[in-house]
Amino acid sequence: MDIEGWIQKSLGEVIKVEGGFAFKSIDFQDSGIPIVRMSDLNSGNLDLEKSPRIDQSKLKHLSKYELYSGDFLVGMSGSIGNYAIVKDQDLPAYLNQRVGRFRLFDTDNTDYSFISQVARSDSYKFYVEMVAAGAAQVNISPQQIEAFQVNLPSKSEQEKIAEILSTIDRAIAQTEAIIAKQQRIKTGLMQDLLTKGIDENGNIRSEATHKFKDSAIGRIPIEWEVESLDNCVMANAPICYGILMPGFYYNAGVPVIKVKDIIGGSIIQDDLLLTDPKIDRQYQRSRLLERDLLITIRGTTGRVALVPSELRGANITQDTARVRLQDDYSKDFFYFLLQSFHVQDQVSLHTLGQAVKGINIAELKKIQISLPPLEEQEMIAQKLNQITIYLRCVQEDLIKLKQQKTGLMQDLLTGKVRVTNLLKEREPTSL
């Protein structure tokens, strides 16, 4: 559509896409200057922890591939829609082949930040996917990127749009940093609480101040015991897997939980398979009650979830096991315990297979766990629930921010919503 004051240009009329250097893997080493590859582009950030390094002496005469703070990088092979913005803490670093860098040459009429926002838009992602479609190895050339058509307002309007979008980008980055920090805190807290527990004063125990004992799974507080998982479940509801062949979608059928539905410790209910009630009746043994525990045993093993009230009466597939605890154990405690390093390591140890990996029920039943008294289980679960609830709230905030960013990009980058009034407010008033 025609927008007053906007003109259409190709990206190539305002920027040049520069590719990286074809570094040789024989020159890579454990220390030195990072070489940025496709896999290092991580949703706007550079993740250089696993990137190859190269000695400074090998970089002579390659200064044109050196990266600078603020550089906008795009993928040109594989994950072609991915991008990253280079930050001060990423430097020094050099650009590898198949990663493109935007170089702005029309600085009089174009704002670099605005162009980088355009290259993150849905329309750009759709364009690169369409251009690259059909190839066995997904690639896109600098020339194809430069052919993308973009609508450009005046430079002042570009700057204001970029300022608005960058503000929400910073809010997203800050929220992601909070989540990462809290995730690290939670991981450390789980490790401490599930191996050392809480004393009568509410403090994490240490061997310097409390008594510990040797056990089959290492040192544990003297008050704790070691049990197999099988000894903790209801006698009339043994650990079991579910439906072998649940079939396809059956209208008004029984919900069936698959491995793909268990993500981040929760059951995602948006796309549950509904199976024929006749099939469900053949697997009454694996029907679910509220707060049953689930652990995946085939494909991706070790995912854990608690069954919510709305899924009472649902079922599971053969790729998931149900664990129904005795009443004298805390279900919340076991929810975290099954996600602990100690239990997950045992699951990994007994996960076998090539094409489809899995752990059988017999091995799952033998998993050894360390158990404090019930009162302490509940205290531990309460502390871990507090940080989990906070994390989920922040994660929900992040989802809302990203949705807001998507909506703003659609409105501002297409001219559907103009920022001209904001620009007028910024203009000095004449005397």
Residue-level pLDDT at 427: 57
Q: How far is CA 154 from the centre of its chain?
A: 37
Residue-level pLDDT at 428: 55
Q: Where are the domains of the chain?
A: 8-152, 225-371
225-371 and 8-152 share a CATH fold: yes
Instruction: Tell me if residue 323 falls in helix, strand or coil.
Output: strand
Residue-level pLDDT at 5: 86
CATH class of 225-371: alpha beta
Residue-level pLDDT at 426: 58
CA dihedral 373, 376, 377, 381 (to 10 degrees): 180
Residue with the two structure tokens 């009454």: 284
Residue-level pLDDT at 393: 97
Residue-level pLDDT at 333: 98
The CATH H-level superfamily of 8-152 is DNA methylase specificity domains (3.90.220.20)
Amino acid at 172: I
Distance CA 310, CA 293 (A): 14
Residue-level pLDDT at 431: 42
Residue-level pLDDT at 255: 97
Nearest to 260 by CA among 298, 209, 228, 224: 298
Distance CA 334, CA 343 (A): 11
Burial of 211-241, coded b for 16+ CB within 10 Å and e otherwise, reads ebeeeeeeebbebbeeeebeebbeeebebbb
Distance CA 392, CA 103 (A): 39
Amino acid at 116: S
The two tokens of residue 387 are 């940080």
Q: Say if CB 242 and CB 315 are below 8 A apart.
A: yes
Distance CA 321, CA 207 (A): 36
Q: Say if CB 411 and CB 417 are below 8 A apart.
A: yes
Nearest to 79 by CA among 107, 52, 28, 41: 41
Half-sphere exposure (Cβ direction) of 28: Cα atoms closer than 13 Å? 14
User: pLDDT digit of tens for each residue in the chain (431 aa)?
Assistant: 578 889 999 999 999 999 999 999 999 998 999 999 999 998 788 999 989 999 999 998 999 999 999 999 999 888 787 899 999 999 999 999 999 999 999 999 999 999 999 999 999 999 988 888 665 678 889 999 999 999 999 999 999 999 999 999 999 999 999 999 999 999 999 999 999 999 988 999 999 999 999 999 999 999 999 999 999 999 999 999 999 999 988 988 999 999 999 999 999 999 999 999 999 999 999 999 999 999 999 999 999 999 999 999 999 999 999 999 999 999 999 999 999 999 999 999 999 987 889 999 999 999 999 999 999 999 999 999 999 999 999 999 999 999 999 999 999 999 999 987 777 665 554 44
